Amino acid sequence: MTLTITQSFDDLPQVVARGETAAAQFAEILAAEEPVIFKDALAAWPALTAGRESVAAMNVYLKSLDAGKPVPVLEARAASDGWFMYQPDLRDFNFAHRERRIGETLDHMERLLGQPDVPFIAIQSLPLAEHMPQFMRANPAPLLPPQVMPRIWIGGKVRTQTHHDPDHNLACVVAGRRRFLLFPPEQVSNLYVGPIDRPFPPPLSLVNPEAPDFERYPKFRRALAAARIAWLDAGDALFIPKYWWHHVTSLEPFNVLVNYWWGNDAKGLDRAMDCFLTALLALKDLPPRERAYWREMFETHVFRAAGDDPVAHIPQALQGLLGPLSPAMRQKLRQQLKMAYLKS
């Protein structure tokens, strides 16, 4: 059983859209941890003007800023229909990596426009500071401080399978249009996510959200019930908070997006992902009663509900690590854990 795009997407709640936004308002949006569209956020960008003019004008503009270094280019066969995804056995992906120069890749993309049965080509997540530093100066980040570095994504009607980022994401459409299907972080158990062991790309959902197989992936109904949709025109920007799952569809024959990732500054033992991996090692295979104990310990002392203080019965001076962690206590705990890991 499948569900058509019209049935699954048209009735979804749309992400809230805002107009001009002040810095203080943006800080409130960050704290709320909800997606928001900023309409016409790129109105002052020369790149937007070029993108609205034509594909040729966009390409001329980008090539004029190119530093000349080879870049990784993804290519998927025409039969993929632009879907960048796992192979059926999950051991590899359905696209190839090649090294090309930006100029020749853009020219190749432009030549393929309108031709039948052509491959899908994309430049994805390219650091602009390294490859187009002048772009950054001419097109400054909306709402963000200058130290947040941009990346550029260029391609045709490509679909990027449902995934999440460990950073906040501000996705800015420079040319074309994009659709974002968004799922809250807690929907992870309903998205049927693939292997987490590869460094690139991030773990992907196995479900095709445009035609989900509910017999094979029944819990995806719950994910769709919690989903939201965002339609972005050129000039719009979308804020995606950390860990929100998103499926991205480029809707025009040629599309350009610039995005900014920030907010994941934890290092070393403070990295949540390393804590999760340690938990897989230490807790996953324990006997049921032991796992139940540690589940309750995490729920009580790590994931406790707002306003609930599980150690209020202990004098504050004696709460130790279960109470508020001062910088000195955090550093002492880091040293203790480093010693424990060294012994293992």
Tens digit of each residue's pLDDT (9 = 90 or more) over 18-63: 999 988 899 999 999 999 999 999 999 999 999 999 999 999 999 9
Give the Cα separation of 151 and 8 in Å (integer).
31
What confidence score (pLDDT) does residue 1 get? 38
What confidence score (pLDDT) does residue 319 get? 94
SS3 76: strand
Give the Cα separation of 112 and 124 in Å (integer).
18
What confidence score (pLDDT) does residue 200 get? 61
Cβ neighbourhood burial of 141 (10 Å; 0-12, 13-18, 19+): buried
CB-based contact 120:73 (threshold 8 Å): no
Closest CA to 1 of 191, 300, 217: 217
CB-based contact 164:240 (threshold 8 Å): no
For domain 5-262, the CATH class is mainly beta
Q: What is the pLDDT averaged over residues 156-165?
A: 94
The rounded mean pLDDT for the chain is 93
- Backbone phi and psi for residue 250, each to the nearest 5 degrees, phi listed first: -85, 125
Distances in Å between the alpha carbon of 237 and those of 43, 83, 202, 260? 11, 23, 22, 10
Taking only the tens place, the pLDDT of each residue in 215-250 is 999 999 999 999 999 999 999 999 999 999 999 999
For the chain, percent of residues with pLDDT exceeding 70: 97
Please give the single-letter amino acid code of residue 330: R
Residue indicated by tokens 């990784």: 72
- Assigned token pair, 77: 């066969």
What confidence score (pLDDT) does residue 304 get? 86
CA 214 to chain centre: 25
82-93 as b/e: b if 16+ CB within 10 A? bbbbbeeeeeeb
Q: Label the pairing between strands 17-18 and 36-38.
A: parallel
Q: What is the pLDDT averaged over residues 243-270?
A: 95
Residue indicated by tokens 């420079």: 174
Query: DSSP string of 89-134?
Result: TSSSBSEEEEEEEHHHHHHHHHHHTT-SS--EEEEEEEEHHHH-HH
SS3 57: helix
What are the extents of the domains in the chain? 5-262, 283-343
